[in-house]
Chains A and B, each alone.
Chain A
Amino acid sequence: MADESARCVATTRAGTRCKNRSQPGSKYCHVHLALGESATTPPDETAAGDAQTAERDEEALRREMAAEIDDLIEDLHDRSPEFEPPPFSPRAMVDLIKQNLDHLPPPMRADVLYRLRDAVAREDRFDAETWKGIWAMIHYWRYQQETFVQRLGNLPFDLPTEQLKKMANLFSEDLLDPDTWKGLWFMVSYSAKYQADVVRRRFTGEYETDEWGLDWEFLEAVRPFFTFLYKYYWRVEASGLENIPDYERALIVSNHSGQLPFDGAMIGTAVLTEHPAQRLVRNLYADWFPSLPFLAPLFEKMGQTLASVENGTQLLENEELVAVYPEGYKGVGKLFKDRYRLARFGRGGFVKMALNTQAPIIPTAVVGAEETYISLYKSDLLAKATGFPYFPLSPTWPWLGLLGLVPLPTKWTIDFGEPIPMDGYPPDAAQNLVLVSQLTDQVRNVVQEMIMERLAQRRSIFFG
């Protein structure tokens, strides 16, 4: 289509034909004009010998680097084709470095300068063409940064700059600097655009969930609430996070307490915010929750699943991090006088999951959750009438209505214990009921011990 003679004849590093127009009087474009010959002509093959090979390697490396820079320039040029870098001069290059030195953190400045000086001193390694390339690249780069704000969107009105500057002088604060406000406006408008886009996509169905129902966008939306509870309300202290693997499967087995399953939420928040791999914990919940409006989709969209051996096994096979609370209703609904006394650890379904998949069990102790509600009595009558699995009566619930549901701001600690390996057993170990019940008791004892250890250190319920 286009006039072929007006195109650059060089090939880029990606192996495609250069798209730029050639400079007048040359068959190369402005980028390849300098680098063209070296980037396209094949290296001389006559040289032989070890030293020469090494030299050729270095030569190839240099050429590769030059081509890479060349690629970057081309990419940057594509994004702002109207911009042309000023002509190269070594003097201006040094000035440029001086100017941009301020952008680096102070400890790095000297280091960068030393490196640059070394590079300049070894002239044979770093030729002028490369410098020219770097020169063009930095200019494109700075141009990109300068125009970034403009590309986000222009102010729909003119700021009364002069007046604002006067006020800024009066207070001599950054807060009254018109640029601060301009920046704030861009931030707000950008964030509003993003939010509007999220809302639009929700309405047109352009969002994704995984096959278990996990919706990351939703999770990110509700995350601040849980972070607030974690950081400021219960001031959770998590220890032993290094026991949780970064990628492999593992099964967290924890005590359960606190009438409402906030302990699961806090374990999830701990791993998501404090673990280096920021893993998502797949909590397994009881079969009462799928029938509750609002809670059922909430749990599902946060990536949690109904507790069953099949579900747990499948999740672990997908190398997920699964958390179970084998005490179940007996644990979460226990009376205040029974606090920190572990209930029966179910029928050992969690051990079967771990044995099926050879996933290590990470015993976990949550301390502090037991005191968030003070359950004095469990009413069977009310439980039957409301359909709840248990109906606690506390000094506040149900007398104060929903206000009685506000948990007490106790101080929490979550301890992740040493993993218990589960891979030393025969393949059909999950069918061995004796082994399963022994392992169940073993894990239960470990968790109980961890709780006792933590309780021994605790001075105050509210301050830890």
Chain B
Amino acid sequence: MNDTNVILVTGVAGYWGGRVARRLLNEPDLHVIGLDTEPPENVNIEALDYVQADVRNPLLPDLLNAAGVDAVCHLAFIGGVRRNETRFDTNVMGAMKLIGACAESRVRRLVVKSSTMVYGANANNSAFLAEDAPLNGGRRYGYNRYRLEIEAFINGFRRQAPELEMTVLRFANVVGPTADTPFNRYLRGPIAPVLLGFDPLLQVTHEDDVVEALAHATLGERSGPINVAADPPMPLLRILALAGRVPLPIAHPLAYQAVRWLGSSRLGKAIPFEPDYLRYRWVADTERMREELDFFPQFSGDEAVETVGTHLRLERYKPTADEMAYDEERLQQTIARRRQSAAAEEAKEVENG
């Protein structure tokens, strides 16, 4: 049987936290605690043991000990390209404090979500970047800078707390119909800028595979960084063709200047990553994923991109807000809840006479 039975998911009100919590709740004999500053909307709150707190809370070690948490899946991370104090506090300081708390308590395993972008795109990158490759990722955009800082901290902390198993899953470009990720934003934008005369090979991961891999790693036994990506890597122009986007070629010196000058303006954010990522090869080696994590993505690369293409195609024909069909599942849940509370009130009234 599984020896892990109490699991803490941080950032449970966020997209990934919510999805992973829901996925873990499907597992039998598992107690899932969700941590966030605001209550989650989409997770079945009765089954989830929700705790309203911030990851930076000084009482966190006490909570971990009291609940007897075995494994932590850390998903409290604010993405986005901008950098500011709030984000640094939540992302970097939050991760540091959480990891410290885990080391203080009896937590045995910690899973952190990262990205293969931390390797960076360089001309002399190896064709397949193994997990021990140097982390030379771009530091201009917030999400990647904070991830690099978290990874550097974890690498240093490994020596200090050898008994805490820290798994860092580095996901390749996450695509899918619902997730809000840099590459998804790039695929959904009004234009898809590419660098003229460059067509690098890129890897993608489907959002469902991300959730599955995180759950798998939380319940699994491997530690250390592991790359997660779907095969095969595909040329950027093929990805755009599969997603039904028309590429807009820009001369590369212009693109670098544009990012420098336009900075965080809307135009500058048309490419949500640094131009280098559209220029050089940064394909991660997925051997560890298959051999050690024992994880095989459900979606192949082209299938994953096609889900985005299908979604984008359908979105054009979506009804507007007022004529939109209601979310039946949610409505049913609401009705059931109302019915229950009404019944409870009735019973109370009967009791009171």
Contact = CB atoms under 8 A, between A and B. Distances in A.
A25 interface: no
A292 B281 CA distance: 13
B197 A294 contact: yes
B171 to A, nearest CB: 18
Given A205-B302, A209-B238, A314-B128, A296 B201 contact: no
B332 interface: no
A390 B302 CA distance: 41
Contact of B233 (A203, A204, A211, A297): A211
A314 B195 CA distance: 29
A199 to B, nearest CB: 12
B48 interface: no
Contacts of A202: 241
Contact of A297 (B124, B198, B239): B198
B196 interface: yes
B66 interface: no
Nearest to B286: A211
A297 B199 contact: yes
A212 B127 contact: yes
A348 interface: no
Interface residues of B, number: 31
B280 A211 contact: no
A29 to B, nearest CB: 43
Given A297-B235, A300-B201, A314 B127 contact: yes
Contacts of A305: 127
Interface in A393-426: none
B241 A293 contact: no
A202 B233 CA distance: 17
A293 B196 contact: yes
Contacts of B234: 209
A213 B197 contact: no
Contacts of A203: 241
A287 interface: yes
Contacts of B195: 293
A269 to B, nearest CB: 23
B279 interface: yes
Contacts of B280: 290-291
Interface of B is mostly: loop
A213 B235 CA distance: 7
B350 interface: no
B180 interface: no
A207 interface: yes
A449 interface: no
| Listed residue (A202, A293, A314) with the most chain B CB atoms within 10 angstroms of its CB | A293
| Listed residue (A202, A208, A215, A300) with the most chain B CB atoms within 10 angstroms of its CB | A300
B125 to A, nearest CB: 8
A293 B197 contact: yes
Given A209-B234, A209-B238, A290-B281, A296 B197 contact: yes
Given A202-B241, A205-B302, A209-B235, A306 B197 contact: no
B76 to A, nearest CB: 34
Interface string B222-243: 0000000001111100111110
B101 interface: no
B123 interface: yes
Given A291-B279, A293-B195, A297-B198, A308 B124 contact: yes
Interface in B278-310: 279-281, 283, 302, 305
B126 interface: yes
A205 B241 contact: yes
Interface string A203-228: 11101111111010000000000000
A38 interface: no
Contact of B201 (A204, A205, A209, A311): A209
A78 interface: no
A202 B238 CA distance: 8
B126 A287 contact: no
A174 interface: no
Closest 10 pairs (CB-CB, A-B): A293-B197, A205-B241, A205-B242, A294-B197, A297-B199, A287-B124, A290-B123, A205-B238, A311-B127, A291-B123
10 contacts: A205-B241, A205-B302, A211-B283, A215-B235, A290-B124, A296-B279, A300-B199, A306-B125, A311-B126, A314-B127
Interface of B: 123-128, 195-201, 231-235, 238-242, 251-252, 279-281, 283, 302, 305
Given A202-B241, A205-B302, A291-B123, 12 more contacts: A203-B241, A208-B232, A209-B234, A209-B238, A292-B197, A293-B252, A296-B200, A297-B200, A306-B124, A306-B126, A306-B127, A308-B127
